[in-house]
Structure formats: structure tokens, C-alpha cells
Amino acid sequence: MRNETHEAPTAPQLKPRLGLASAVALNMSQMCGAGPFITIPAMVVVMGGPQACLGWLLGALLALCDGLVWAELGAALPGSGGTYIYLREAFGKRTGALLPFLFVWTAMLFIPLTMATGVMGFVQYLGWFLPHMTALQGNLVGLVLIWITIGLLWRTTRSIGRLGIALWIVMLISTVCLIAASLSHFDVARAFSFPAGAFDLGSSAFWFGLAGSLTIGTYDYLGYNTSAYLAAEIKQPGKVIPASIVLSILGMFVVYFTMQIGVLGVVDWHRMLDPDSMAFSAVASVVLNESWGSTAAGVVTVLILITAAASVFAGLLGGSRVPYEAARDGVFFRAFSQIHPRLGFPTWGLLSMGVLTSLGFAIGRLTSLATLIQLLTTVMILVQSVAQIAALFTLRRKRPEMERPYKMWLYPVPALIALLGWIYIYVSSNKNAPGAYPIQWSLAWLLLGSIAYLCWSRVHNLRARHA
């Protein structure tokens, strides 16, 4: 009688299909999106003049320093889920599943909130063509955009990489057109018409305004870590992840800073202070209209709409992978570990991002873009930004033998600069979002997450005992 052995079928796994070009394209598409087109006026309002350019400078510095944290951890611990993996490896034995669970719990909130701002920007610029669009119509347009994006992501990662590059090219064309139009009608005196006391370092208003400007600038740079979230699907992650992060940040700094200066040289910054004006809600379209005419404004506004959609595309792609690794490790809901058997992507992760982004968009429409940015940034800081820097220090100390394809330049200086920057934003958030109480809400969310963890772990342990 012939002996036969039967091997259990191997569960579908994420496959490395994305190279450096795709990684940079996805990072930059997520970083840009509608962000600068809707936050340039917001930056001017917070700082009270052209000194708003400081927000882009300091935001780039914070993003680069924090990006080097992501670069070392992502290269050393490539896997789907990003911060979850780093916290698990650094603190898993000490905190068990609590800290990784809290990160996934928090990421399931701040990633959709970030995507919701992109959807809000899309609806905002659509108002250039539909100035009489009602609030209800805008809400419906935003929800349709979210679920069309989910449909586009319902495919293999290889085709997503190609589509990401195409959307990235559209983003570059729209930003180049805006920069070219602004520089063709640039007025130096208008661009640098600083108000009295613009750089009064002895004024608390300056420092709180700077914190608000830094928060908005940092929000615009968010997305430089998209390739780290997709590390399990990146070819040669030890080289590609660090390179994609640094190149994305430096490239977008040049774009953002040039855009801000160019816009200020065409549109008097006083016009942006009125929240009901087109100079506030669609400043890029105003620049194109006043520089090259209404036809050019219409064409570039279409490109901006595509760019906004591209950022939502890239963000939902990366965000859908966050709960996947945690679920595989048994520290988050089991359903999130499921991979589509044919197309090879996390099905429940993608669907949940669609639902939560829809809810975040609804919250943003009921409040304001600036408030939404403050809330999502404050929620993110404790469990991701600060905790991840602590994870870097911990792994350097506890596991010096770990293979590190990339090591942070000038360690630990960039990590310490990033830590100070995040703390500065956090402690200033209540002042910059009066009445919204971002600090209190962030702490309440962590408390609720801890309670959810206790309930989930009890059920999880009961199931394990009866298995």
C-alpha cells in the first residue's frame, strides 16, 4: 500500500511587486493630493501673512527627521503594517499585545481621517465648476469618490503600482502648471509683504501660530511612510524604503515651498483671510484664472481633482494593510488577516478603510478642515510618532545584532528633533483648535482603546481555551 502525505494548503501571502519608482510615486501621491491646494490659505490664516512659508520649512525638517526613523525601522523590519511591527518587536514582551493593539486601534481612526481631508479637498475644488452645489450634493460626491476608489483598489498590487505611477504623473503636471502660472505673473513685493510684527519671537501668538503652521505643514507631508506600510510588497525593501522616503520628502519640499511663494506672488494674502472667498477655498484655480485665464484654470482644476483622488487612492491602499499583520499575529480581529484568494490583497482591511473614511468625511463636513487636521494629528502623535521613536531607541539598545540595511544618519539627533517637534505640536493643539479639545479627545480615544483591548483579549483567550 502506497503511503501518501497530504500537505495543508498554504494561505495566500502578500507578494513583493513594487520597485523604487512605484514606491516613490505612491508616497508622493499620498503626500500631495489636495493637501497644498487647500492648506496654502489655511497656513496664511494661522500665521497671519507670508511668514507662513516657515510652516513648509519646519514641516520638511520634521518630516525628514521622522522619515529617517521610518527608514531604519522599515528597512530592518519589512512587513505589512508598518508601526505595528516595530512596536511588536520593541515592546511585545513587556506590554504583550496592548501597545500593538492600541496602535492598530488608533490607526484605524487617523488614517481614514487623513483620507477624509483629501475627499474634502476634492469636493472643495469641485465648487469651482459647481459654485451653487449644495452641502448634500457635496456629501454625496465625496461618498461616491470613496467607493469608486475602493473599486479601483480591488485588484492585484502590480496593476495598482502602474496606476499609482499614472496618477503621480497627473499630480506632477497639476503642480507644475500652478507653479509655472504663478511665476509667470509673480510680484515680489506682493509675495513678501510681511505685516508688522511678523517675526516677533517674544510674542506667544507667534509661537502658537508657528505650531499651527507646523501642524498643517506636517499634515501635508504625511504619506512619506506609505512605502513602509507596504513593505511586504516592496522589492529589496532594505534599499527601496529608505530611498523612497527621503526622495519623496525632498521632492515635495521643493514643490510645496515653490507653490507657496508663487501663490503669494499672484494673490494678495489678505484675500485668503476670508473663508467665504474663492481665494481661500480654491486658491490654485484663482491663480490660474488670473494668470492664464479661465480655460487654463478649468483644465488645471480638473488635474487637481485627479490629484486629490490619487491621494485617497494611495492612502486607502496603505491603510488597508495596517490591521493585516496584527490580525495574522492574533492581536487584532481575525477577519483582517484574510487575503483575497485570487487578487492577493487584504479584503476586510480595504473594506473597513472605505467605511471609516466615509465616517471621517462626514465628521469633517460637520466641523472644518482645520479642526479635522488638528484632531487626526493629535490622535496620531502618541501611539505612532512618539511610540515609534521610543521603539527605535529600544531596538538599538536591546537588539544591536539586528540586521539593519539602513542606519539613521547622525543617530540619535534626527530622532530627538522629531520627538521635540511632535511634542511641540501636541501641547499646542488645544490652542490652535479652540473648542475642539484635541488633547482630551486623543486621551479619551486611548482610554476607550484600552477598554476595547481588555474586552477583546478576554474573548480571544476564551476562544483559545476552547479551541
Look at 233 and 305; give whichever has higher pLDDT: 305
Confidence (pLDDT) at 132: 87
CA distance 378 to 174: 30
Mean pLDDT value across the chain = 83
Band of pLDDT at residue 163, cut at 50, 70 and 90:
low
Decide if pLDDT at 394 tops 70.
yes
Alpha carbons within 13 angstroms on the beta-carbon side of residue 51 total 18
Pick one of 3.30.2290.10, 3.40.50.12780, 1.20.1740.10, 3.90.226.10 as the CATH number of 20-460.
1.20.1740.10
Number of H helices, E strands in the chain: 20, 0
CA distance 387 to 87: 7
Decide if pLDDT at 2 tops 80.
no
Per-residue cell: 115: 483620507
Contacts with 148 (C-beta within 8 Å, 6 or more apart), sequence order: none
Highest mean pLDDT among 62-71, 149-158, 222-231: 62-71
**81-85, 86-90, 384-388: lowest mean pLDDT where?**
81-85
**54-63, 176-185, 197-206, 212-221: lowest mean pLDDT where?**
197-206
CA distance 155 to 159: 7
Percentage of the chain with pLDDT > 70? 89
Band of pLDDT at residue 416, cut at 50, 70 and 90:
very high
Mean pLDDT calculated for residue range 347-366: 86
- Taking the CA atoms of the chain, what radius of gyration do you get in angstroms? 22
Mean pLDDT calculated for residue range 340-345: 65
- 3 state DSSP class of 192: coil
Confidence (pLDDT) at 287: 93
Band of pLDDT at residue 337, cut at 50, 70 and 90:
confident
The domain segmentation of the chain, as residue ranges, is: 20-460
Q: H helices within 192-282, ranges in order?
A: 204-221, 226-229, 237-264, 278-281
Look at 459 and 253; give whichever has higher pLDDT: 253
Rounded to the nearest 10 degrees, how much is the dihedral formed by the CA atoms of 252, 258, 263, 265?
Answer: 170
pLDDT digits (tens, 9 = 90+) for 106-127: 888 888 888 888 898 899 899 8
Confidence (pLDDT) at 38: 85
Mean pLDDT calculated for residue range 46-59: 89
Band of pLDDT at residue 21, cut at 50, 70 and 90:
confident
Mean pLDDT calculated for residue range 154-160: 61
Decide if pLDDT at 334 tops 80.
no
Per-residue cell: 221: 507631508
pLDDT digits (tens, 9 = 90+) for 249-295: 999 999 899 999 999 999 999 999 888 788 888 899 999 999 999 99
CA distance 414 to 4: 58
Decide if pLDDT at 138 tops 80.
yes
The DSSP element (H or E) to which 83 belongs, if any, is helix 83-95
Confidence (pLDDT) at 426: 93
Q: Whole-model pTM?
A: 0.80
Decide if pLDDT at 8 tops 50.
no
**18-22, 187-191, 336-340, 386-390: lowest mean pLDDT where?**
336-340
| Residue whose grid cell is 530611498 | 243
Closest by CA to 207, choosing from 466, 362, 431, is: 431
Confidence (pLDDT) at 3: 45
Highest mean pLDDT among 153-157, 304-308, 322-326, 410-414: 410-414
What DSSP assignment string belongs to 379-430?
Answer: HHIIIIIIHHHHHHHHHHHH-TTS--SS--TTTTHHHHHHHHHHHHHHHHHH
Confidence (pLDDT) at 1: 43
Decide if pLDDT at 322 tops 70.
yes
CA distance 275 to 226: 32
Mean pLDDT calculated for residue range 85-100: 76
CA distance 28 to 221: 9
CA distance 212 to 95: 33
Look at 232 and 119; give whichever has higher pLDDT: 119
